[in-house]
């Protein structure tokens, strides 16, 4: 690491530590920049390059995680949670949750109460899968070795949701990906929640053509954040929809396949299958 890179790395480490320890006072960009002896403009650019997100977004993520803990573990009211998190009121808390979690703080506190989730188990060329959907679209696909364990993981996200073992049209459309030409499939609707950064990464993955590969660095460049390869890797590891959001098409810049949430051998099998499918389509 070059000397200047070491200096910059240490500055960002100090800034992250300061934000984590002082988020309840909601420090401004100018305040944090002053702590690392940089102008707000220079600090904003440097932090985004090294952390993969802006100082403001990072502060929001820290604030929301703390608020989630208060709502879930301590069962505090929305007003108390906003106050303890250092926010000016419940409207600020509401906006943060909607933008970052994809739900209101009240919905989070209720654990998905009144949300109806249909789910079913199906077979794929790469093993059994659990697929789930809401009234808006697919919210979960996972390869499973144990059905009970897979359901426990699904329920963990929304413990108070209403679950129906039923294969709806969203799921049928999504499952057709294993038996039809990708380009001829009807538009598959997704219902995902994640940070802005995660959603950008997942959207970028959807643009990788079937049977082709990309690298973490390429994905970072695609979302206009070329130095955020590590953050991209973390977002890919949080992908809630296996195969449909094709995180298996991302490999290391060295050519190594890298890890995969559902097993490296399965990742290799999926890539081989996709290549064979695209070659067959080209022949005919």
Q: What is the pLDDT of residue 161?
A: 83
Catalytic residue check, 139: no
Locate the domains of the chain by residue range: 3-109, 116-169, 196-283
- 116-169 sits in which CATH class? alpha beta
* 116-169 matches 3-109 in CATH topology: no
Whole-angstrom distance, CA of residue 57 vs CA of residue 274: 37
Q: What is the pLDDT of residue 140?
A: 92
The vertex-251 CA angle with 249 and 255, nearest 5°, equals: 130
Residue 283 has pLDDT above 50, yes or no: no
pTM comes to 0.63
Q: Are 87 and 96 in contact (CB under 8 A)?
A: yes
Please give the residue that has the higher pLDDT: either 27 or 192: 27
Residue 204 has pLDDT above 80, yes or no: yes
Whole-angstrom distance, CA of residue 179 vs CA of residue 196: 32
Residue 47 has pLDDT above 70, yes or no: yes
Long-range contacts, stretch 19-22, CB < 8 angstroms, 24+ apart: 19/55, 19/58, 19/59, 19/62, 20/62
Pick from 78-82, 109-113, 191-195: least confident: 109-113
Residue 279 has pLDDT above 70, yes or no: no
> Which residue is catalytic, options 244, 247, 251, 270?
247
Please give the residue that has the higher pLDDT: either 118 or 135: 118
Please give the residue that has the higher pLDDT: either 4 or 129: 129
Whole-angstrom distance, CA of residue 232 vs CA of residue 260: 14
Q: Which helix (H) or strand (E) holds 86?
A: none
Mean of pLDDT values over 244-252: 91
Q: What is the pLDDT of residue 284?
A: 42
Residue 37 has pLDDT above 50, yes or no: yes
**DSSP-assigned states of every residue in 194-238:** --HHHHHHHHHHHTSPTT--EEHHHHHHHTT-TT-HHHHHHHHHT
Q: What is the 3-state secondary structure (H, E, C) of 35-59?
A: HCCCCHHHHHHHHHHHHCCCHHHHH
The CATH number that domain 196-283 falls under is 1.10.10.10
Per-residue pLDDT tens digits for 50-65 = 777 788 888 888 888 8
Per DSSP, helices labelled H in 102-195 are 105-109, 147-157, 169-175
Please give the residue that has the higher pLDDT: either 48 or 121: 121
Mean of pLDDT values over 97-114: 70
Whole-angstrom distance, CA of residue 123 vs CA of residue 233: 28
The 8-class DSSP code of residue 168 comes to: -
Per-residue pLDDT tens digits for 139-156 = 999 999 899 999 998 988
Q: What is the pLDDT of residue 156?
A: 83
Pair type for strands 127-133 and 138-143: antiparallel
Q: What is the pLDDT of residue 112?
A: 62
Whole-angstrom distance, CA of residue 169 vs CA of residue 276: 28
Mean of pLDDT values over 241-270: 88
Mean of pLDDT values over 247-269: 86
The 8-class DSSP code of residue 72 comes to: I
Per-residue pLDDT tens digits for 168-190 = 999 998 998 887 655 555 578 88
pLDDT confidence bin for 1, thresholds 50/70/90: low
Residue 262 has pLDDT above 60, yes or no: yes
The fraction of the chain above a pLDDT of 70, given in percent, is 91
CATH 1.10.10.60 fits 3-109, yes or no: yes
> What does residue 190 show for φ and ψ, rounded to 5 degrees?
-120, 145
């Amino acid at each position: 690491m070059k000397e200047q890179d070491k200096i910059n790395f240490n500055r960002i480490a100090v800034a992250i530590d300061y934000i984590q320890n002082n988020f309840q006072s909601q420090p401004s960009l100018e305040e944090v920049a002053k702590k690392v002896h940089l102008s707000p403009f220079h600090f904003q650019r440097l932090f985004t390059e090294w952390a993969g997100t802006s100082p403001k977004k990072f502060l929001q993520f820290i604030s929301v995680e703390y608020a989630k803990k208060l709502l879930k573990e301590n069962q505090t009211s929305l007003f108390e949670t906003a106050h303890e998190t250092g926010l000016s009121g419940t409207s600020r808390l509401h906006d943060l949750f909607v933008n970052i979690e994809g739900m209101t703080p009240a919905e989070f506190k209720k654990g998905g109460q009144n949300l109806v989730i249909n789910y079913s188990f199906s077979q794929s060329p790469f093993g059994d899968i659990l697929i789930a959907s809401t009234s808006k679209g697919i919210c979960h696909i996972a390869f499973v070795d144990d059905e009970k364990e897979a359901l426990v993981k699904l329920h963990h996200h929304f413990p108070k949701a209403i679950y129906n073992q039923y294969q709806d049209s969203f799921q049928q459309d999504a499952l057709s990906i294993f038996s039809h030409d990708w380009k001829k499939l009807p538009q598959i609707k997704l219902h995902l929640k994640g940070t802005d950064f995660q959603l950008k990464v997942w959207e970028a993955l959807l643009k990788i053509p079937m049977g082709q590969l990309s690298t973490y660095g390429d994905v970072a460049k695609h979302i206009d954040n070329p130095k955020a390869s590590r953050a991209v890797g973390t977002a890919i590891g949080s992908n809630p929809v296996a195969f449909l959001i094709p995180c298996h098409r991302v490999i290391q810049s060295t050519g190594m396949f890298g890890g995969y949430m559902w097993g490296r051998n399965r990742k290799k099998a999926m890539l081989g299958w996709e290549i064979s499918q695209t070659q067959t389509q080209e022949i005919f």
